[in-house]
Structure 1
Amino acid sequence: MEFSRRILLVEDETFIRMFLTCAFRDAGFTVIGSETGANALTELETKNFAALVTDIRLGVGPSGWDVAHFARQRRPHMAVIYMTGDSAADWISEGVPTSILMQKPFAMARLVTAVANLLKGDDQLST
């Protein structure tokens, strides 16, 4: 599994997680999916990822904010993309630096492009 294309995708809604996984795989990424923040923390402890794509509200347990902070403690330059339908206003205070926030609903191509650009080190991204 090529590390530079490995993504941890954290989404508690099964259908959305499956849809996003397929889209990222079609774009050439390797995806490990997680449905809870707690599972995501375990994945981050045991595997290396180039990027984290996480929903913010993940039900009981750690939130997407928590997962991203943990990820950045382990790898300070990991690409982080947040997805949310209702938590965008908290991004400035809760999000990790140099992250991207995608407001739901969004075009799948936009999310895949954001991840690809972050992994290339493109700082020309907008939210």
Structure 2
Amino acid sequence: MKILVVEDDPFVREMAVAGLEDAGFEVTEAASGGQALELLQAGITVDALLTDIRLPGANGWAVARAFRERFPDLPVLYVTGYAEQMQPVPGGIIISKAYRMAQVISALGTWAA
């Protein structure tokens, strides 16, 4: 399963990528919403999206909308430290920071099954 991790905090991104790779996922990373959209325009294909909500360039909602235009059934995990800004997301799961990789892997497992 190919996952795009979009996270502007280098430490959090590194931990997410390492945890997902250790669990056997193929991971591509983006440091901003803008970079994620550039990857989409370049033709990246992914099986799931793990995105922070507050990002430079484009927020996580915009990134997810753009990816869902191309991949309508794409599983999306939104992570945020700003629970008060959560929006209802059909087909998506919202996880509050600080999260454990077990939460992410468990959620991804429900889609992989």
Q: TM-score range, shorter-chain basis?
A: over 0.9
Query: Secondary structure of 1:44's match?
Result: helix
Q: Does 1:72 align with 2:65?
A: no
Structure 2 Cα separation of the partners of residues 53 and 35 of structure 1: 12
Q: Does 1:103 align with 2:96?
A: yes
Q: Which residue of 2 aligns with 1:16?
A: 12
Deviation at 1:35, TM superposition (A): 0.4
Query: Which of 44, 55, 59 does residue 52 from structure 2 map onto?
Result: 55
Alignment size in residue pairs: 112
Gapped regions of structure 1 (runs ≥ 5): 121-127
Deviation at 1:27, TM superposition (A): 0.5
RMSD over aligned CA atoms reads 1.2
* TM-score with structure 2 setting the length: 0.93
Structure 2 Cα separation of the partners of residues 109 and 88 of structure 1: 23
Q: Which residue of 2 aligns with 1:124?
A: none
Gapped regions of structure 2 (runs ≥ 5): none
* TM-score with structure 1 setting the length: 0.83
Deviation at 1:43, TM superposition (A): 1.4
Structure 1 Cα separation of the partners of residues 38 and 84 of structure 2: 26
Runs of 4+ in 1 over 2 A off after TM superposition: 87-90
